[in-house]
Structure 1
């Protein structure tokens, strides 16, 4: 470990902050400052470790007692307090920066984008496992990055899902950077769309010629981010790319993968597969083996997850779709006549483009609306001149029953385009409720 100048401050003491404390203690740091607006409970620590705790409205007073600060991802880094801290000689770092500088991994793959990060990192792992290449997942998906250093190995490839929060201010890039579709997200945290995309660009901004940048060339923001990399480029798109995908297949190096041969559903997953295969190719793995392996890949929970067929009705759980563009990707993949369960808590998202798409889909036969956004979604759909049945329901149970009324030969899709709060604790609880309702359907 490269010794951090102490005392070392931990800014934000959630899951990531606790992981940082564990890392510092493991590596012999004796003087630690913990800062969090919320109350802090420390785990049992060695007697020679001294921890100062700053909480409440003045939690940032702990900066005065810190020389180095490890920022947790959810803490906005461009505050006046952190600016003054650095101007006075303080050093600001993060879990991802420390990991990239300290890991023994023979290679690190970083994946970012607005949609598909979790699916893509798990696809890369699935493909590498088939190629008998040791690998591990961490970052925004799985375990905090510094936890991966506990049993670090030079034989292993580390795969990191990286959010804009984690990438913001990052001054180093991984060997393989994968830039998925980038649109707009987290504008309640970022000051602008430009800041959000600029944060994403740190994934590849510091790459060298020996590195690889995998990107989707059909998405202008993603292509613009890739242009900032000095690495070797591997692109995927609908034509003239290193991997080419369509609505039902993808091709790479003369090999073809058909969606109909895969366990997962959703044409948009072919984009993620193309990105995963190019990442595997950049790592020197066998592409045909990786491609064959993706046929057996199964969806992550609540991400366009096929839950089976009962009474001739197919059920799809896409509770993870908490943004309009995620739902847009899901509905485009539907082939049967289907009912859509839509709505949730309010994030002031713009539903205009989603509404325009929905009214253009001949296979969409019914929309069942729930949550705080239901009225606004209904107004948006009416403005787009929707001609299909649309009703607002007080809960998911009644919306589900309504959606099932299309009968045999149809499908029911939960893809809310909104967060779950109000009706549910989070998207997982919402997804679990949908699964419970499916299980109660009698054949």
Structure 2
């Protein structure tokens, strides 16, 4: 092992990532383990020689006193007094991503971060590399935990990691190719400030060397600022004077052009993600022309501006994954037909001003149907912004869907809630499934 994990080794946070860490430690012969989680800890069946202690409940951090090294799960905020105290007394804190970057035999690691589009971009890179006959895997915040990828590691493959600010916050190393998508604000219920959030993102490229590559969107000031932290070779994408240039309906790179109308996916903002993916392919030395051609057949991830077909002359788009105002802003900008918008969900105290101001300027927006705990506050914001189209609050998605369909032939219905789903639905996936079922019935 390239990274010396001196035991006893603690696992801080025992969700999906923590369970993956336990498997990794056991695979590598580390049997003296301390599991810590605020929630009740239920251990799987363990080898007979494993010595695993558990600490849960309010005093779960007391397990730190029994550890020499701790693997922090991404969801555990690192700037806590107990963790500072642990390190001041000689304890070492690491993470799944740090271990993966130190251990992997991958020919290259691509890391992708940003506020929007991470999942789409990593899956586009995989799609393009598959077309170029380059073996690759996806993990991190999307797909499987990073340490699970080490179980079947290979020197001929590329590892593509989606990385959140939680995973990047204390990372002391960077991948070979770092991609910085649009960065705005998010997770301010976890991060102490916008500055802390963006500073965490910067660790993706902050430790890069001259032989590495930093791909970034130059049109977004926070992303461009993060890219300046990197000492790597820069590849930019933007609306002009960039290595890859996108317009509302096409993108150009190395003399090749990809038209959105030739692609299976919808949404002008997806051209930004495609530009980032193609620059990653270029950085890896793969054939850009083959990669670009392959993206014509790329299909949207489920519930991410997913085109559900046309029925009775109405197009349906499922963007249930849009749990933030800026995600919905990207979705509505890409709509071509007259459309109805279904908005609303659970309350995260997001500011809807910018979204409302944008909606007031869209001539093809014809109706807004509101649901969930945020509906009243959204309605007030829409009125304040001067949104003049009919807008009404409904008790649930069924009623809002029926209202949205009333524009009739030649229109479109977009579910892009700008809010989380809790209250009405278990999560955004269930919300998306319910929308799909309503489309099927229609």
Please indicate the TM-score interval, normalised by the length of the shorter structure: over 0.9
User: What is the CA–CA distance in structure 2 between the aligned matches of 1:331 and 1:387, rounded to whole Å?
Assistant: 16
Match of 1:186 in 2: 187
Residues 1:374 and 2:384 are matched in the alignment: no
Match of 1:42 in 2: 43
- CA drift of 1:231 comes to 0.2
Match of 2:57 in 1: 56
Residues 1:224 and 2:219 are matched in the alignment: no
Match of 2:433 in 1: 432
- CA drift of 1:385 comes to 1.1
Residues 1:410 and 2:416 are matched in the alignment: no
Match of 2:423 in 1: 422
Match of 1:258 in 2: 259
Match of 1:324 in 2: 325
Match of 1:348 in 2: 349
Match of 1:18 in 2: 19
Match of 1:134 in 2: 135
Residues 1:309 and 2:310 are matched in the alignment: yes
Match of 2:70 in 1: 69
- CA drift of 1:59 comes to 0.3
Poorly superposed stretches of 4+, deviation over 3 Å: none
**1:195-239 Cα deviation digits (max 9, x unpaired):** 000000000000000000000000000000000000000000000
User: What is the CA–CA distance in structure 2 between the aligned matches of 1:175 and 1:434, rounded to whole Å?
Assistant: 40
User: What is the CA–CA distance in structure 1 between the aligned matches of 2:387 and 2:264, rounded to whole Å?
Assistant: 33
Say what the alpha-carbon RMSD is for the aligned residues: 0.4
| Partner secondary structure for residue 277 of structure 1 | helix
User: Structure 1 stretches of 5 or more lacking a match?
Assistant: none
Residues 1:359 and 2:330 are matched in the alignment: no
Match of 2:10 in 1: 9
- CA drift of 1:45 comes to 1.0
User: What is the CA–CA distance in structure 2 between the aligned matches of 1:137 and 1:9, rounded to whole Å?
Assistant: 26
User: What is the CA–CA distance in structure 2 between the aligned matches of 1:299 and 1:56, rounded to whole Å?
Assistant: 41
User: What is the CA–CA distance in structure 2 between the aligned matches of 1:329 and 1:140, rounded to whole Å?
Assistant: 22
User: What is the CA–CA distance in structure 2 between the aligned matches of 1:394 and 1:66, rounded to whole Å?
Assistant: 51
**1:359-413 Cα deviation digits (max 9, x unpaired):** 1000000000000000000000000111110000000000000000000000000
**1:402-426 Cα deviation digits (max 9, x unpaired):** 0000000000000000000000000
User: What is the CA–CA distance in structure 1 between the aligned matches of 2:214 and 2:221, rounded to whole Å?
Assistant: 15
| Partner secondary structure for residue 309 of structure 2 | strand
Residues 1:338 and 2:339 are matched in the alignment: yes
User: What is the CA–CA distance in structure 2 between the aligned matches of 1:49 and 1:223, rounded to whole Å?
Assistant: 48
**1:113-139 Cα deviation digits (max 9, x unpaired):** 000000000000000000000000000
**1:334-380 Cα deviation digits (max 9, x unpaired):** 00000000000000000000000001000000000000000000000
**1:135-184 Cα deviation digits (max 9, x unpaired):** 00000000000000000000010000000000001000000000000000
**1:301-342 Cα deviation digits (max 9, x unpaired):** 000000000000000000000000000000000000000000
User: What is the CA–CA distance in structure 1 between the aligned matches of 2:119 and 2:318, rounded to whole Å?
Assistant: 16
| TM-score under structure 2 length normalisation | 1.00
| Partner secondary structure for residue 295 of structure 1 | helix
| Partner secondary structure for residue 385 of structure 1 | coil
Match of 1:113 in 2: 114
| Partner secondary structure for residue 428 of structure 1 | helix
- CA drift of 1:38 comes to 0.7
- CA drift of 1:427 comes to 0.2
User: What is the CA–CA distance in structure 2 between the aligned matches of 1:291 and 1:21, rounded to whole Å?
Assistant: 40
| Partner secondary structure for residue 233 of structure 1 | strand
Residues 1:234 and 2:231 are matched in the alignment: no
Match of 1:32 in 2: 33
User: What is the CA–CA distance in structure 1 between the aligned matches of 2:188 and 2:246, rounded to whole Å?
Assistant: 30
User: What is the CA–CA distance in structure 2 between the aligned matches of 1:368 and 1:246, rounded to whole Å?
Assistant: 30
User: What is the CA–CA distance in structure 2 between the aligned matches of 1:343 and 1:168, rounded to whole Å?
Assistant: 30
User: What is the CA–CA distance in structure 2 between the aligned matches of 1:385 and 1:260, rounded to whole Å?
Assistant: 33
User: What is the CA–CA distance in structure 2 between the aligned matches of 1:386 and 1:301, rounded to whole Å?
Assistant: 30
| Partner secondary structure for residue 5 of structure 1 | coil
| Partner secondary structure for residue 154 of structure 1 | coil
Match of 2:279 in 1: 278
More displaced 10-residue stretch of structure 1: 262-271 or 42-51: 42-51
Match of 1:388 in 2: 389
| Partner secondary structure for residue 155 of structure 1 | coil
User: What is the CA–CA distance in structure 1 between the aligned matches of 2:388 and 2:80, rounded to whole Å?
Assistant: 48
Match of 2:248 in 1: 247
| Partner secondary structure for residue 178 of structure 1 | strand
Match of 1:125 in 2: 126
| Partner secondary structure for residue 22 of structure 2 | helix
User: Structure 2 stretches of 5 or more lacking a match?
Assistant: none
| Partner secondary structure for residue 59 of structure 2 | helix
- Number of residues paired by the alignment? 441
User: What is the CA–CA distance in structure 1 between the aligned matches of 2:358 and 2:91, rounded to whole Å?
Assistant: 50
User: What is the CA–CA distance in structure 2 between the aligned matches of 1:31 and 1:386, rounded to whole Å?
Assistant: 61
- CA drift of 1:30 comes to 1.6
- CA drift of 1:434 comes to 0.1
User: What is the CA–CA distance in structure 2 between the aligned matches of 1:58 and 1:343, rounded to whole Å?
Assistant: 37
User: What is the CA–CA distance in structure 2 between the aligned matches of 1:336 and 1:358, rounded to whole Å?
Assistant: 15
